[in-house]
Structure 1
Amino acid sequence: MTRVWDVPVEDAAGVSAARSAAEEAAALAGLDAPRGADAVTVASELAANLVEHAGGGRLLVEAVPPVRPAGAHDAPVVQIAAVDHGPGTAETPAGRDFGTDGATGTPRDGHPAVRTLGSGLRVCHRVADSFALHAAPGRGTAAVARIGAAPVLPAQSAGPDAVRTGGINVPLGGAALSGDAWTAVRAGHLVTLMLADGLGHGPEAARASTAAVEALREVPELAPAAALRHLGEALRGTRGAAVALARLDTRTGRLLFAGLGNVGARLYTGGSWRTLLSRPGIVGVHRRAAPPETDLAWAPDAVLVLHSDGLPQRWTPPAGLRPPAVDPAVFCAVTVRDTFGPAAQVRDDTAVAALTTTPPDLS
């Protein structure tokens, strides 16, 4: 089930809690002792950065699918996301976002500005398999680091047609389990992104969404409508879930989308956003005919976003981010942060997942 450590970080006690969360997440992901220690180090540095530079914030720690969903590297990785509503970290130029390649330890775009990172963030940059950060003056900072069993090698990239996936999951009220879950699966040149929102909250909702994730992994090649039929059988006996799926064929550049229930979906291409519609229903509860699939063109600048109803339908895409160049998990983190603001609390389990083309310098 989707275990998320939602750690408020205001002082030294929050830093200690962040370290403990990373240690537990590393054990859940099956990391060995050295890589587990790396996860703890990254969590500690990001949490300390929140206290020192932002006046506090939150760390979201969980085991997630790999950023590049390829069969050769499909073990979960520990993702540590730090978000705040501070002034924008003083350790990077305002409004800039940086990504690093864990295989080489170099900035995504080769820009020397990564040297402006403070010592704590330089540690994250060096230790994590991938590290990305976006800072904007007066709005805050979002940083995402991932640590896996072993660094991702260039040969494990999905190639020039590669796509990246990422997501953020915020449980209601800081609960240990989220009723939302997302995953990405790959079958050759076919990549599917799915988000499932289990009915209600708590362990039973988490059991339903987890069943959807496990069922999709059994049939990564299926088109969305057929996959929803398979998930419908797999979720019988659970509360059921709202589910949206999108399968991208990287050879033909076509995206197929289908959904049942109130999982939101938007596609960005050509400078504008389009809403993708799901049909009413609950997967695993209501026996309905599979919904029709929406067939769309996938462009080099495309970004697909799926989100549970914890995020309002009228959410505004983050200003100042340049999809798909920004890490999709950072995009999701900024979306959640800016939607709810510094004082508001999420009103439900809230998950946001994104699929983007990999920039040429990371392919």
Structure 2
Amino acid sequence: MTAVAAVPTVEELGWVAVGDSGAAGVARRVAVDCAQRLGFSEQRAGEVAIVAAELASNLHRHADGGALSVRCLRRGEVGGVELVAVDSGPGMADLPFSSVDGHSTAGTLGIGLGAVRRLSDVAAGYSLPGRGTVLTAQLWAGEKRRMVPPPVAGLSRPITGERACGDRYAARAVGDVLLVLVADGLGHGPLAAAASSAITDVFLASDVDAPGRLLELLHRSVSHTRGAAVSVARVSDGAVVFAGLGNVAGAIAFPDGERRGMVSMPGIVGHQSRSVREFTYELPPEGVVVLHSDGVSDRWNLRDYPGLSRQDPLLIAATLLRDAGVRRDDACVAVAGSGVPA
């Protein structure tokens, strides 16, 4: 794996449930507020508003149980707005064709998805008839440019009724090595979110690249919080080194449905740690690494999603979160694929 693209830090702004036409206005305001805080020009913030409104309107017109995630991204000194639209609607058999201006299945002008693709620096989608659709878009400050997404992404959502999510993902690249973490703060709500936030802060600030040593560092650093289950994966060319404490699952998944689980030890980072062990696993070129909290069922199978394993990791994470995040709990999924040149 050659040097991987820089991994942006993520600030979660929450999910907008799209139950009526008014949700488009809510999504637009949240996204524009993020853009303005990140120093977007007035024109670029206006383009953010268009993309957010189009994604939300598309969910309202076509989808069942649709929701839109809005996040602020930072890559060095540059800020970005990320939008993830997830639904369990009828799906589309030909998503690329549906993204062309002028194509519509609802008697509209059909400009929505075409505008999303045209205005975004990065736009992607995955749809399966009968299962639903995931659409993602990133818009970065400055002039529109071609951005290379990193080979890792994650997505979380809080338990129903809570605004703060106690499950969190973080990642960082060190040369040709990718480090991925998922933390599941004990319980849910603000205190769980504080625990997982403290863990990701220490992880991102550290220069340690061994998963076992990272867990030991985190264990010493966050004893003032209620603690969390944590797993860390070190992904390099052909291998994964994995260490976990608690019930954050790790697996290497393949398009044919094969899945190799990775071993996590009992414990709670910050409170109980009898032993930390690292395990090394082979990572073939077609495999992807998936970490998820226990708010996500482990019954997912990439064989059920033709072509998904070759897509952007954010599309994989969002699809699995939608379909396997069925437990009444906070939920988080992180996915690392093969390396992408910087």
- Please indicate the TM-score interval, normalised by the length of the shorter structure: 0.7 to 0.9
1:268 maps onto 2:250 in alignment:
no
Q: Which moved more, 1:117-126 or 1:44-53?
A: 117-126
How has the CA–CA distance of structure 1 residues 55 and 44 changed in structure 2, closer, same or farther, with 3 Å as cutoff?
Answer: same
Structure 1 equivalent of residue 224 of structure 2: 237
Select the residue among 119, 122, 126 that pairs with 1:130.
122
**What displacement does 1:346 show?**
4.9
**What displacement does 1:334 show?**
1.4
CA distance in 2, matches of 1:194, 1:354: 10
State percent identity of aligned pairs: 34
Structure 2 equivalent of residue 145 of structure 1: 137
**What displacement does 1:23 show?**
2.5
**What displacement does 1:275 show?**
1.1
- Output one character per residue of 1:139-186: Cα deviation in whole Å (capped at 9) or x when no partner: 2111111223357967x85xxxx9511122111115322111101101
CA distance in 2, matches of 1:151, 1:353: 29
Give me the TM-score of the superposition, normalised by structure 1: 0.80
CA distance in 1, matches of 2:188, 2:41: 32
**What displacement does 1:226 show?**
0.5
Give me the TM-score of the superposition, normalised by structure 2: 0.85
CA distance in 1, matches of 2:77, 2:168: 17
- Aligned with 2:160: secondary structure? helix
1:39 maps onto 2:31 in alignment:
no
- Aligned with 2:295: secondary structure? coil
- Aligned with 1:173: secondary structure? coil
Structure 2 equivalent of residue 349 of structure 1: 330
Where in structure 2 are there 5+ consecutive unaligned residues?
Answer: 1-9, 104-109
CA distance in 2, matches of 1:177, 1:31: 26
Select the residue among 159, 174, 192 that pairs with 1:187.
174
Select the residue among 47, 61, 64 that pairs with 2:70.
61
Structure 1 equivalent of residue 4 of structure 2: none
Structure 1 equivalent of residue 270 of structure 2: 284
**What displacement does 1:3 show?**
3.5
In structure 1, give the amino acid aligned to 2:336: L
**What displacement does 1:313 show?**
2.8
Structure 2 equivalent of residue 293 of structure 1: 278
- Aligned with 1:193: secondary structure? strand
CA RMSD of aligned residues (A): 2.8
CA distance in 2, matches of 1:192, 1:135: 29
Listed as ranges, the matches of 1:88-237 within 5 Å are 88-89=91-92, 94=93, 96=95, 115=100, 118-150=110-142, 164-237=151-224
- Aligned with 1:195: secondary structure? strand
In structure 2, give the amino acid aligned to 1:261: G
CA distance in 2, matches of 1:208, 1:152: 36
**What displacement does 1:249 show?**
2.5
Select the residue among 54, 59, 68 that pairs with 1:50.
59
Where in structure 1 are there 5+ consecutive unaligned residues?
Answer: 67-72, 99-111
Structure 2 equivalent of residue 335 of structure 1: 320
Structure 2 equivalent of residue 15 of structure 1: 24
Select the residue among 213, 233, 242 that pairs with 1:246.
233
Number of equivalences: 325
Asked whether the equivalents of residues 318 and 338 of structure 1 are also in contact (C-alpha less than 8 Å), the reply is no
